[in-house]
Structure 1
């Protein structure tokens, strides 16, 4: 019983201490202003079958853009998005085409890899002259 009685005042003191706001001033925060930008790129490589792109523009507050990619199942995926500090990131995903699933799976690349190692010839070139020693060393000690 004494344990319960002594615990109640301790909890009241801790509760009051946590309820009092801190006396130090809050740190100032720095918010960087938005930076307008605009970019776009596309990559299409018929040799490997790669095809994708991205474009984006911003007025400093809202970013709008889209990106697309050709998927391995034969469809094209396009994502159009808009992002700002109020609505967050809102995306609309669209697919074009019908998914194709072949019975055999394998690499879509049809080129034959070439070896990257090319051995050097086995012969060793010989100098066209015969070097002659220019001095005769003398032993530094006599046994």
Structure 2
């Protein structure tokens, strides 16, 4: 009896904790099921001052990576002031050129990029590693030949 009461109480708690709306359903046989609207935004509390507007974003960033051992050479710099962003990034390509992208982002004009390449294409330098010498095989030594034991002598 106690087990039934505890189980029923647990099911009631789980049912109450479930959200009031269901997640969007996948189309069934090509037809979409209706999706309930999102819950309304909380009502404003009158008499409370509204939070101050966030200041426009302003930052500068700059980073570089140059590692001669691994031939990595790339970097990025960007400046943002409110809705206007300017920047550029570059990378050393495998063919020896440097690809550079200079861009601006404006709230009205969107993302505008100019791609340039610096340097000349260099053919890849073949890396020659001589093959290891072929193994030398010798004839195996013949197995030893054992003479059969002499027959037993009965006397």
Please report the TM-score for the alignment, with normalisation by the length of structure 1: 0.48
Larger RCO (CA within 8 A; separation ≥ 6): 1
Please report the TM-score for the alignment, with normalisation by the length of structure 2: 0.45
